[in-house]
Amino acid sequence: MSTHQALLDPAVLRALDPSFIDLPSEESVLEGVASRYAVLELGAEDPRRAAVLDVVDLAALPGEPDVVVVRRYSRGDYALPHRFGEEVAGAGWGVHVALQDSLVDGLTFWDGQEFTRVLDTAGTPVRPAMDAWCWTSPVRADVRYTVTIGGRA
Amino acid sequence: MNGISITPDVVRGCGEIIAMAERYRRLFSDYPDPAAKRNRPADWDPLNPYRDSEYEDDDRYHVLQMAQMPRDLALTILKGIATPDCDLRNFYFQINRYDIGDYILPHRDSLQQGLYMLTDSEVDGLVVQSGPGRMEFVPDRAGTLIEHDPAAWHWVDPVRDHVRYTLVTIPARPPARRG
Protein backbone atom coordinates (compact mmCIF):
# COMPACT_ATOMS: atom_id res chain seq x y z
CA MET A 1 0.00 0.00 0.00
CA SER A 2 1.31 3.45 -0.81
CA THR A 3 0.15 6.91 0.14
CA HIS A 4 -0.64 9.57 -2.41
CA GLN A 5 -1.22 13.08 -1.20
CA ALA A 6 -3.38 14.52 -3.99
CA LEU A 7 -6.98 15.23 -2.97
CA LEU A 8 -9.90 15.29 -5.34
CA ASP A 9 -11.87 18.53 -5.42
CA PRO A 10 -15.27 17.65 -3.88
CA ALA A 11 -16.89 19.70 -6.64
CA VAL A 12 -15.55 17.21 -9.19
CA LEU A 13 -17.28 14.37 -7.36
CA ARG A 14 -20.51 16.30 -6.95
CA ALA A 15 -20.49 16.98 -10.70
CA LEU A 16 -20.49 13.22 -11.27
CA ASP A 17 -23.59 12.67 -9.13
CA PRO A 18 -26.28 12.96 -11.84
CA SER A 19 -24.51 10.28 -13.89
CA PHE A 20 -24.56 7.52 -11.26
CA ILE A 21 -26.87 4.56 -11.71
CA ASP A 22 -28.38 2.86 -8.66
CA LEU A 23 -27.10 -0.67 -8.40
CA PRO A 24 -29.79 -3.00 -9.73
CA SER A 25 -31.12 -5.12 -6.88
CA GLU A 26 -29.63 -8.55 -7.33
CA GLU A 27 -29.32 -11.54 -5.06
CA SER A 28 -26.14 -11.57 -2.99
CA VAL A 29 -24.35 -14.39 -1.20
CA LEU A 30 -26.46 -13.36 1.82
CA GLU A 31 -29.92 -14.68 0.99
CA GLY A 32 -32.66 -12.04 1.09
CA VAL A 33 -30.51 -8.90 1.10
CA ALA A 34 -28.92 -6.93 -1.74
CA SER A 35 -26.12 -4.37 -1.84
CA ARG A 36 -27.08 -0.71 -1.93
CA TYR A 37 -24.95 1.91 -3.71
CA ALA A 38 -24.66 3.65 -7.07
CA VAL A 39 -22.09 3.09 -9.82
CA LEU A 40 -20.55 5.07 -12.65
CA GLU A 41 -18.14 3.53 -15.13
CA LEU A 42 -15.77 6.04 -16.68
CA GLY A 43 -14.70 4.84 -20.11
CA ALA A 44 -11.36 5.58 -21.71
CA GLU A 45 -12.81 8.51 -23.66
CA ASP A 46 -14.70 10.02 -20.72
CA PRO A 47 -13.15 13.45 -19.98
CA ARG A 48 -13.97 13.05 -16.24
CA ARG A 49 -11.79 9.96 -15.93
CA ALA A 50 -8.53 11.90 -15.78
CA ALA A 51 -9.73 14.02 -12.84
CA VAL A 52 -10.57 10.92 -10.82
CA LEU A 53 -7.35 9.10 -11.71
CA ASP A 54 -5.38 12.21 -10.83
CA VAL A 55 -5.80 11.52 -7.10
CA VAL A 56 -4.57 7.94 -7.43
CA ASP A 57 -0.92 7.05 -7.06
CA LEU A 58 -0.66 5.56 -10.54
CA ALA A 59 2.97 4.55 -9.94
CA ALA A 60 1.68 2.13 -7.30
CA LEU A 61 -0.58 0.34 -9.79
CA PRO A 62 0.56 -2.92 -11.39
CA GLY A 63 -0.18 -1.61 -14.87
CA GLU A 64 -2.12 0.82 -17.02
CA PRO A 65 -5.73 1.45 -15.84
CA ASP A 66 -8.30 -0.08 -18.13
CA VAL A 67 -11.61 -0.31 -16.26
CA VAL A 68 -12.48 2.62 -13.95
CA VAL A 69 -15.65 2.30 -11.86
CA VAL A 70 -16.66 4.95 -9.31
CA ARG A 71 -19.03 3.96 -6.52
CA ARG A 72 -21.18 6.38 -4.56
CA TYR A 73 -22.55 5.40 -1.17
CA SER A 74 -25.14 7.54 0.58
CA ARG A 75 -25.38 7.30 4.36
CA GLY A 76 -26.49 3.75 5.27
CA ASP A 77 -25.52 2.22 1.91
CA TYR A 78 -23.38 -0.91 1.85
CA ALA A 79 -21.74 -3.51 -0.38
CA LEU A 80 -22.45 -7.05 0.80
CA PRO A 81 -19.77 -9.76 0.67
CA HIS A 82 -18.57 -10.47 -2.87
CA ARG A 83 -15.39 -11.50 -4.66
CA PHE A 84 -13.30 -8.39 -5.28
CA GLY A 85 -12.76 -9.25 -8.96
CA GLU A 86 -16.52 -8.92 -9.59
CA GLU A 87 -16.07 -5.15 -9.27
CA VAL A 88 -13.95 -5.08 -12.44
CA ALA A 89 -15.20 -8.15 -14.28
CA GLY A 90 -12.76 -9.43 -16.87
CA ALA A 91 -9.76 -7.49 -15.55
CA GLY A 92 -6.51 -9.27 -14.67
CA TRP A 93 -5.78 -7.07 -11.67
CA GLY A 94 -7.71 -4.56 -9.60
CA VAL A 95 -7.26 -1.98 -6.86
CA HIS A 96 -9.71 -0.24 -4.56
CA VAL A 97 -9.16 3.45 -3.83
CA ALA A 98 -11.17 5.63 -1.46
CA LEU A 99 -11.67 9.20 -2.63
CA GLN A 100 -11.92 10.77 0.83
CA ASP A 101 -10.56 10.09 4.29
CA SER A 102 -12.69 8.54 7.01
CA LEU A 103 -12.18 7.46 10.59
CA VAL A 104 -15.16 5.11 10.47
CA ASP A 105 -15.87 3.95 6.89
CA GLY A 106 -13.75 1.53 4.91
CA LEU A 107 -13.33 -1.83 3.25
CA THR A 108 -13.17 -5.26 4.90
CA PHE A 109 -11.38 -7.97 2.90
CA TRP A 110 -9.58 -11.31 3.16
CA ASP A 111 -5.85 -10.61 3.00
CA GLY A 112 -4.83 -14.24 2.60
CA GLN A 113 -4.41 -14.82 6.34
CA GLU A 114 -7.21 -12.92 8.06
CA PHE A 115 -10.07 -10.57 7.35
CA THR A 116 -8.86 -7.02 7.78
CA ARG A 117 -10.62 -3.64 7.77
CA VAL A 118 -8.93 -0.71 6.06
CA LEU A 119 -10.39 2.71 6.85
CA ASP A 120 -10.63 5.15 3.96
CA THR A 121 -7.47 7.07 3.06
CA ALA A 122 -7.96 9.20 -0.03
CA GLY A 123 -5.86 8.16 -3.00
CA THR A 124 -4.22 5.15 -1.40
CA PRO A 125 -4.64 1.95 -3.45
CA VAL A 126 -5.69 -1.21 -1.61
CA ARG A 127 -5.14 -4.39 -3.58
CA PRO A 128 -7.12 -7.43 -2.43
CA ALA A 129 -6.65 -10.63 -4.44
CA MET A 130 -9.17 -10.82 -7.26
CA ASP A 131 -10.86 -13.83 -5.64
CA ALA A 132 -10.79 -12.33 -2.12
CA TRP A 133 -14.06 -11.85 -0.26
CA CYS A 134 -14.69 -8.19 0.55
CA TRP A 135 -17.48 -5.90 1.69
CA THR A 136 -18.31 -2.42 2.93
CA SER A 137 -20.56 -2.20 5.98
CA PRO A 138 -23.25 0.52 6.20
CA VAL A 139 -21.60 3.86 5.54
CA ARG A 140 -21.68 6.48 8.29
CA ALA A 141 -20.71 9.56 6.26
CA ASP A 142 -23.31 11.58 4.33
CA VAL A 143 -21.68 10.38 1.14
CA ARG A 144 -18.70 8.15 0.34
CA TYR A 145 -16.97 7.75 -3.03
CA THR A 146 -14.58 5.00 -4.04
CA VAL A 147 -13.04 3.99 -7.33
CA THR A 148 -12.12 0.50 -8.43
CA ILE A 149 -9.48 0.36 -11.13
CA GLY A 150 -8.82 -2.73 -13.19
CA GLY A 151 -6.24 -3.56 -15.80
CA ARG A 152 -5.03 -6.33 -18.05
CA ALA A 153 -2.82 -9.00 -16.51
CA MET B 1 -38.80 -10.97 9.92
CA ASN B 2 -38.91 -8.97 13.13
CA GLY B 3 -36.95 -5.72 13.29
CA ILE B 4 -34.21 -4.94 15.78
CA SER B 5 -34.75 -3.57 19.26
CA ILE B 6 -32.02 -1.36 20.74
CA THR B 7 -32.38 -0.66 24.46
CA PRO B 8 -29.76 1.62 26.06
CA ASP B 9 -28.57 1.50 29.68
CA VAL B 10 -29.62 -2.08 30.37
CA VAL B 11 -26.35 -3.29 31.91
CA ARG B 12 -25.25 -2.01 35.29
CA GLY B 13 -21.53 -1.89 36.10
CA CYS B 14 -19.99 -2.47 32.65
CA GLY B 15 -16.62 -1.20 33.88
CA GLU B 16 -16.57 -3.62 36.79
CA ILE B 17 -17.45 -6.57 34.52
CA ILE B 18 -14.68 -5.63 32.07
CA ALA B 19 -12.07 -5.13 34.78
CA MET B 20 -12.87 -8.56 36.18
CA ALA B 21 -12.88 -10.18 32.72
CA GLU B 22 -9.44 -8.70 32.07
CA ARG B 23 -8.17 -10.36 35.24
CA TYR B 24 -9.47 -13.71 33.90
CA ARG B 25 -8.12 -13.18 30.38
CA ARG B 26 -6.26 -16.50 30.45
CA LEU B 27 -9.53 -18.42 30.87
CA PHE B 28 -11.02 -17.32 27.54
CA SER B 29 -11.15 -19.81 24.67
CA ASP B 30 -9.69 -18.59 21.39
CA TYR B 31 -11.38 -18.71 18.01
CA PRO B 32 -10.15 -20.05 15.73
CA ASP B 33 -8.91 -22.99 17.71
CA PRO B 34 -5.24 -23.41 16.67
CA ALA B 35 -5.83 -27.07 15.75
CA ALA B 36 -8.85 -26.20 13.59
CA LYS B 37 -6.77 -23.56 11.84
CA ARG B 38 -3.96 -26.04 11.14
CA ASN B 39 -6.40 -28.62 9.77
CA ARG B 40 -8.18 -26.38 7.27
CA PRO B 41 -8.45 -28.24 3.96
CA ALA B 42 -6.69 -26.91 0.87
CA ASP B 43 -10.01 -25.86 -0.66
CA TRP B 44 -11.19 -24.11 2.54
CA ASP B 45 -13.15 -20.94 1.84
CA PRO B 46 -12.66 -18.20 4.46
CA LEU B 47 -16.29 -17.07 4.19
CA ASN B 48 -19.23 -19.45 4.47
CA PRO B 49 -22.28 -17.49 5.65
CA TYR B 50 -24.30 -20.72 5.84
CA ARG B 51 -21.99 -22.48 8.29
CA ASP B 52 -23.53 -23.96 11.43
CA SER B 53 -23.96 -21.03 13.82
CA GLU B 54 -22.23 -23.11 16.52
CA TYR B 55 -19.11 -23.43 14.32
CA GLU B 56 -16.90 -20.47 15.11
CA ASP B 57 -13.44 -21.47 13.95
CA ASP B 58 -13.75 -19.21 10.88
CA ASP B 59 -14.24 -16.26 13.22
CA ARG B 60 -11.58 -14.57 15.32
CA TYR B 61 -12.44 -13.65 18.91
CA HIS B 62 -12.33 -14.97 22.49
CA VAL B 63 -15.10 -16.46 24.63
CA LEU B 64 -15.60 -17.27 28.29
CA GLN B 65 -18.73 -19.37 28.72
CA MET B 66 -20.68 -19.37 31.98
CA ALA B 67 -19.69 -22.97 32.76
CA GLN B 68 -16.00 -22.01 32.79
CA MET B 69 -16.55 -18.65 34.43
CA PRO B 70 -15.25 -17.92 37.95
CA ARG B 71 -18.13 -17.43 40.36
CA ASP B 72 -17.30 -13.80 41.14
CA LEU B 73 -17.36 -12.82 37.46
CA ALA B 74 -20.61 -14.72 36.86
CA LEU B 75 -22.24 -13.02 39.83
CA THR B 76 -21.04 -9.60 38.70
CA ILE B 77 -22.52 -10.19 35.24
CA LEU B 78 -25.83 -11.39 36.69
CA LYS B 79 -25.91 -8.43 39.04
CA GLY B 80 -25.52 -6.26 35.94
CA ILE B 81 -28.33 -7.72 33.84
CA ALA B 82 -30.73 -9.60 36.16
CA THR B 83 -32.94 -8.71 39.09
CA PRO B 84 -33.83 -10.85 42.16
CA ASP B 85 -37.20 -11.76 40.66
CA CYS B 86 -35.57 -13.53 37.68
CA ASP B 87 -35.59 -17.29 37.15
CA LEU B 88 -32.04 -18.05 36.03
CA ARG B 89 -32.26 -21.86 35.96
CA ASN B 90 -32.36 -21.98 32.14
CA PHE B 91 -30.52 -18.76 31.43
CA TYR B 92 -27.25 -19.00 29.47
CA PHE B 93 -24.64 -16.27 29.18
CA GLN B 94 -21.08 -15.83 27.93
CA ILE B 95 -18.70 -12.92 27.65
CA ASN B 96 -16.94 -12.21 24.35
CA ARG B 97 -13.64 -10.36 24.01
CA TYR B 98 -12.46 -8.89 20.71
CA ASP B 99 -8.86 -7.80 20.56
CA ILE B 100 -7.82 -5.39 17.79
CA GLY B 101 -8.37 -7.16 14.45
CA ASP B 102 -10.86 -9.70 15.81
CA TYR B 103 -14.17 -10.26 14.00
CA ILE B 104 -17.26 -12.39 13.56
CA LEU B 105 -18.16 -13.18 9.97
CA PRO B 106 -21.65 -12.74 8.45
CA HIS B 107 -24.02 -15.42 9.71
CA ARG B 108 -27.52 -16.11 11.04
CA ASP B 109 -28.43 -17.73 14.36
CA SER B 110 -30.76 -20.58 15.18
CA LEU B 111 -31.89 -19.24 18.59
CA GLN B 112 -33.03 -15.87 19.90
CA GLN B 113 -30.11 -14.24 21.68
CA GLY B 114 -29.41 -11.07 23.60
CA LEU B 115 -26.36 -9.02 22.57
CA TYR B 116 -25.19 -6.67 25.29
CA MET B 117 -22.50 -4.11 24.49
CA LEU B 118 -20.05 -3.43 27.33
CA THR B 119 -17.72 -0.94 25.61
CA ASP B 120 -18.11 2.32 23.67
CA SER B 121 -16.85 3.07 20.18
CA GLU B 122 -17.69 5.19 17.16
CA VAL B 123 -15.77 2.82 14.86
CA ASP B 124 -16.73 -0.64 16.13
CA GLY B 125 -20.10 -2.22 16.64
CA LEU B 126 -22.61 -4.64 15.18
CA VAL B 127 -23.82 -4.79 11.59
CA VAL B 128 -27.28 -6.35 11.60
CA GLN B 129 -30.19 -6.88 9.25
CA SER B 130 -32.89 -4.61 10.61
CA GLY B 131 -35.68 -5.70 8.29
CA PRO B 132 -36.28 -7.33 4.92
CA GLY B 133 -33.39 -6.38 2.64
CA ARG B 134 -31.95 -3.77 4.97
CA MET B 135 -28.65 -3.73 6.90
CA GLU B 136 -27.76 -1.32 9.68
CA PHE B 137 -24.67 -0.44 11.74
CA VAL B 138 -25.15 -0.14 15.51
CA PRO B 139 -22.13 1.50 17.18
CA ASP B 140 -20.95 0.16 20.51
CA ARG B 141 -22.58 1.85 23.48
CA ALA B 142 -21.76 0.38 26.88
CA GLY B 143 -24.88 -1.00 28.53
CA THR B 144 -26.97 -1.33 25.35
CA LEU B 145 -28.99 -4.47 24.62
CA ILE B 146 -29.67 -5.44 21.00
CA GLU B 147 -32.37 -7.97 20.21
CA HIS B 148 -32.78 -9.06 16.60
CA ASP B 149 -34.53 -11.78 14.70
CA PRO B 150 -32.37 -14.96 14.77
CA ALA B 151 -32.82 -15.14 10.99
CA ALA B 152 -31.25 -11.69 10.55
CA TRP B 153 -27.80 -11.57 8.97
CA HIS B 154 -25.26 -9.99 11.30
CA TRP B 155 -21.51 -9.63 11.78
CA VAL B 156 -18.74 -7.74 13.56
CA ASP B 157 -16.13 -6.12 11.32
CA PRO B 158 -12.46 -6.39 12.34
CA VAL B 159 -12.15 -4.29 15.47
CA ARG B 160 -10.13 -1.10 15.05
CA ASP B 161 -10.62 1.04 18.15
CA HIS B 162 -9.66 -0.88 21.29
CA VAL B 163 -10.50 -4.13 23.06
CA ARG B 164 -14.22 -4.74 22.68
CA TYR B 165 -16.39 -6.66 25.17
CA THR B 166 -19.94 -7.98 24.76
CA LEU B 167 -22.25 -10.40 26.53
CA VAL B 168 -24.33 -12.98 24.68
CA THR B 169 -27.34 -14.51 26.44
CA ILE B 170 -30.02 -17.10 25.65
CA PRO B 171 -32.80 -16.05 25.92
CA ALA B 172 -32.28 -12.37 25.28
CA ARG B 173 -33.36 -11.25 28.74
CA PRO B 174 -33.34 -13.10 32.06
CA PRO B 175 -36.82 -14.67 32.38
CA ALA B 176 -39.09 -13.43 35.15
CA ARG B 177 -39.97 -15.90 37.89
CA ARG B 178 -43.50 -17.28 37.45
CA GLY B 179 -46.19 -16.64 40.01
**CATH code for position A117:** 2.60.120.590
Q: Which of A25, A29, A115 sits opposite B103 (nearest CB)?
A: A115
Q: How far apart are the first and last CA of chain B?
A: 32
Q: Domain B5-36+55-170 belongs to what topology?
A: Jelly Rolls (2.60.120)
Which of these, A80, A67, A1, lies nearest to A36 by C-alpha position? Answer: A80
Q: Across the strands, what pairs with B29?
A: B63
Q: Dihedrals φ, ψ of A88, to 5°?
A: -135, 65
Is A137 inside a domain boundary?
yes
Which of these, A29, A127, A106, lies nearest to B157 by C-alpha position? Answer: A106
Q: Which of A30, A103, A116 sits opposite B153 (nearest CB)?
A: A30
The CA-based angle A45-A47-A48, given to 5 degrees, is 120
Q: Which of B47, B105, B123 sits opposite A103 (nearest CB)?
A: B123
Can you tell me the ipTM of this complex? 0.94
Q: In chain A, what residues touch B133 (CB-CB under 8 Å)?
A: 25, 32-34
Q: In chain A, what residues touch B137 (CB-CB under 8 Å)?
A: 137-138, 140
pLDDT digits (tens, 9 = 90+) for B79-114: 999 999 999 999 999 999 999 999 999 999 999 999
What average pLDDT does range A9-17 have in this prediction? Answer: 87
Q: How many domains does chain A have?
A: 1
Residues in chain B: 179
Is A1 inside a domain boundary?
no
Does the pLDDT at position A3 exceed 60?
Answer: no
pLDDT computed for residue B122 by the predictor: 95
What pTM was computed for the model? 0.94
Looking at the complex, report in whole angstroms how far the Cα of residue A45 sits from the nearest Cα belonging to chain B: 37
pLDDT digits (tens, 9 = 90+) for A60-91: 899 999 999 999 999 999 999 999 999 999 99
If contacts are CB pairs under 8 Å, which of residues 1-40 in chain B contact chain A? Answer: none
Q: In chain A, what residues touch B134 (CB-CB under 8 Å)?
A: 33
CB under 8 Å to A89, separation ≥6 — which residues? none
Does residue A117 sit at the B interface (CB-CB below 8 Å)? yes
Q: Across the strands, what pairs with A8?
A: none
Range of the domain at A65: 10-151
Does residue B157 sit at the A interface (CB-CB below 8 Å)? yes
